[in-house]
Amino acid sequence: MQRLGSPTPLSAAEAARRKKRRFQSRSDEEIEAEMDNRGLSYRHGWPLLPPLPVQTVTRGATLAVHNAAQHLGTVQDILLAQRIHTYDAFFAYRVPNDASYDEPIEAFLTLVATVNAAVPVTFVAPIIQLRQYLKTQEETRDIFIELIDYRAIYGLFTFPIRHKETAILEAWDQVSNIAETEIAKFNEKWLSMELLHRGLMEHHCSPTVVITSPSAGNNAWTQAILPVIRQRLRNLTPLFDLEVMCATTLVGVRKSDTLSVESYAKTVVMGGSIGIPNDTKHAGTVGGFVKLSDGKTYGLTNHHVVRDGLVDEVIKATNENYLKPGQMEMSTNPHRFNSPADCDHTSFIEQWKEQEEIWEKQKNKGNALAVTELTTIQTQLNKANQSSRDFGTLFASSGPRVMERPEFLRQPGSAQPKGKAASTNVNFLLDWALLEIAPSRSVENKLPNTGMRPNAMATHLVKGQLCNTWTPLDSGKTHIKRDEVQVGKHGRTTGYTFGTINSALTKINPKVESGWENFGKVYHLDSSTAGVCYSIIRRGKSDFVDSGDSGSVVLHDDTGTWLGLLFGENASGSGLMLPMDLILKDIQNVTGLAVTEPRLDMNPS
């Protein structure tokens, strides 16, 4: 799966700071001046800490510090003397999202202490004492110091804006415009802007403007942009918090842990793994299957999942900026796909080979279960290696475009939308592709029989459920301005997950930066109007989306009807979704064929 954004090169000053963070501070005043100044009430430290979110890697961190246990004991004594209770203290590598692949992980070695940041104490004095102590030790002289609330170490509580919160929803346009205006004054980059409830405690989460930026670590954010935006937001009612998170892309890929022998069946079901042959790094999800009036059924995924250099060139040469069926270049050189994707197939084989090696050793030791286990393993390997993974070829694609339209379209048999949603046009992103199914495979719009964890989350979706209808987001039980709409999906990476659609639209950066392929550039947005999509906030402990889930069909939890198409993830943990009525309407426009499945159901039950 191709990335739609790429890491922003670090400034010379930032690169130098990371390469050799040798602070010469000797006095308490100098240490205080170097402390983190991002203004987060739940996170304090020295020096300026990497912007959140960060990946926490503990493996090898303790071994990197000589006498680590002794140092941690002293750290806890220092904090206790300052009346700060620590829930835990440990060494870890806290790696930011914008870290380049050639940066050594040692550059992010951090002393982490989890505390209760809601207690009214000052953290300046204890951080100074910690720094004065650690700088006397060679192995800890340059490490970060991070005191973070124990509830925030792996992320804040996040909840959607509810449909009944009209004052917040009505203020969203003004709030986001203020943020856009101030960011533009400093020419900083941003990727997305969403409105969520965020906080340390489940029942005390303020409405928060969450901005993602590949340059979130730049001083301009903390020293200029955020203070001005906060000042301007203080004049509004209700009060809004502000948070900037580091993100270099809204899409990506990681290893899939959901592959099973069912993934190699002749009949492919919803949420399967797909990828370009011989591509060992990228994969996406075929979310469901669309039957057109030509009588054929096609796999539905994202455009960015199928794009490569050839597809980009073909689309660039068209006037419409999308890929119609029968394009000559694609007919003479079909763009093929495998299911499962090559990277997932390789991972599946490696996992079973590891198990085979383990049980071979057990067999040599006389374990009576070994023969049975080895037979099962060989069956799995034979199925994976002997099955045809040829899935199909690219048939049509939206290309990277937007569609200007009201948030809701009037559907047959529905009431005319009222209010702002009926009259104000917004730029919805378009990101879909159809794959023509290979003769050796068949498809069915039903959920997989594996992967649903018992009691993982209260849901009406069940394994093997037939899902072949779609519903707009302004009718029946799925009116997001009237109801709390709960959803689920099955994706290539995370399998079954569940969430709630956020009632506030998420904005995507329209600005084109030379040398930085952001969403605005890819989607040909001008500098005056942002693109939009919906956010989905997880229900339960499992993230709703991870890299590689792009292309998943988002289903109404109560009825299993199609509501949208997942195309990305945000640094806040939310999934990014395009409405299904938009997708199906554009499929008809591009292909010239009517959609016969999924069929429209205005009152699903």
Over the stretch 340-398, which tens digit does the pLDDT of each residue have? Answer: 999 999 999 999 999 999 999 999 999 999 999 999 999 999 999 999 999 999 999 99
Strands 204-213 and 241-246 turn out to be parallel
pLDDT value, residue 417: 47
Specify whether the CB–CB gap between 221 and 188 falls below 8 A: yes
pLDDT of residue 252: 59
Whether the per-residue pLDDT at 201 is higher than 90: the answer is: no
Q: Would the pLDDT of 113 be above 90?
A: yes
The helix/strand/coil state of 354 is helix
What is the arithmetic mean of pLDDT over 194-219? 90
Sorted by where each begins, the domain ranges of the chain are 12-149, 157-246, 261-333+389-600, 341-387
Dihedral angle sign, alpha carbons of residues 246, 250, 256, 258: positive
CB 312 within 8 A of CB 330: no
Burial class (CB in 10 A: 0-12, 13-18, 19+), 94: buried
CA distance 308 to 349: 26
Q: State pLDDT tens for residues 477-528.
A: 888 888 899 999 999 999 999 999 999 999 988 664 433 344 556 666 665 6
Helix (H) or strand (E) holding 51: none
| Predicted model pTM | 0.88
Q: How many residues does the chain have?
A: 605
Q: Classify residue 70 by its DSSP letter.
A: H
Nearest C-alpha neighbor of 211 from the set 553, 425, 527, 530? 530
Q: Which pLDDT belongs to residue 258?
A: 66
Q: Is the pLDDT of residue 455 over 60?
A: no
The more confident residue out of 542 and 15 is: 542
Q: Nearest-CA neighbor of 327 among 433, 428, 404?
A: 433
Dist CA 406 CA 420 (whole Å): 9
End-to-end CA distance of the chain: 35
Residue 2 has what DSSP assignment?
Answer: -
Per the CB < 8 A criterion, the answer to whether 434 and 591 are in contact is: yes
Q: Is the pLDDT of residue 19 over 50?
A: no
The 10s digit of each residue's pLDDT in 428-445 is 999 999 999 999 999 999
Q: With beta carbons less than 8 A apart as the criterion, state whether 390 and 338 touch.
A: yes
pLDDT digits (tens, 9 = 90+) for 267-314: 999 999 999 999 888 899 999 999 999 999 999 999 999 998 889 888
Distance between alpha carbon 345 and the CA centroid of its chain, in Å?
23
> How many helices (H) and strands (E) in the chain?
15, 30
Helix, coil or strand: residue 531: strand
C-alpha span between 361 and 363 (Å, rounded): 5
Distance, C-alpha 488 to centroid of its chain: 15
CB burial string 436-464: b at 16+ within 10 A, e below: bbbeebebbbbbbeebbeeeebebebeee
Cα(275)–Cα(391) distance, rounded to whole angstroms? 9
CA atoms in the 13 A half-sphere facing the CB of 111: 28
Nearest to 546 by CA among 305, 252, 288: 252
Give pLDDT, residue 458: 79
Q: Hey, what CATH topology would domain 261-333+389-600 get?
A: Thrombin, subunit H (2.40.10)
pLDDT confidence of residue 454: 53
- Give 254's pLDDT tier (boundaries 50, 70, 90): low
Q: 157-246, what's its fold?
A: Alpha-Beta Plaits (3.30.70)
> Sheet harboring 336-338: ordered strands across?
336-338, 390-397, 433-437, 297-301, 288-292, 595-597
DSSP secondary structure letter of residue 167? H
Which residue, 294, 297, 378, 185, is CA-closest to 594?
A: 294
How many Å apart are CA 394 and CA 380, to the nearest integer?
Answer: 29
> In this predicted structure, what is the pLDDT of residue 10?
44
**Element holding 237 (H helix, E strand):** none
Cα 192–Cα 161–Cα 471 angle in degrees, nearest 5 = 90
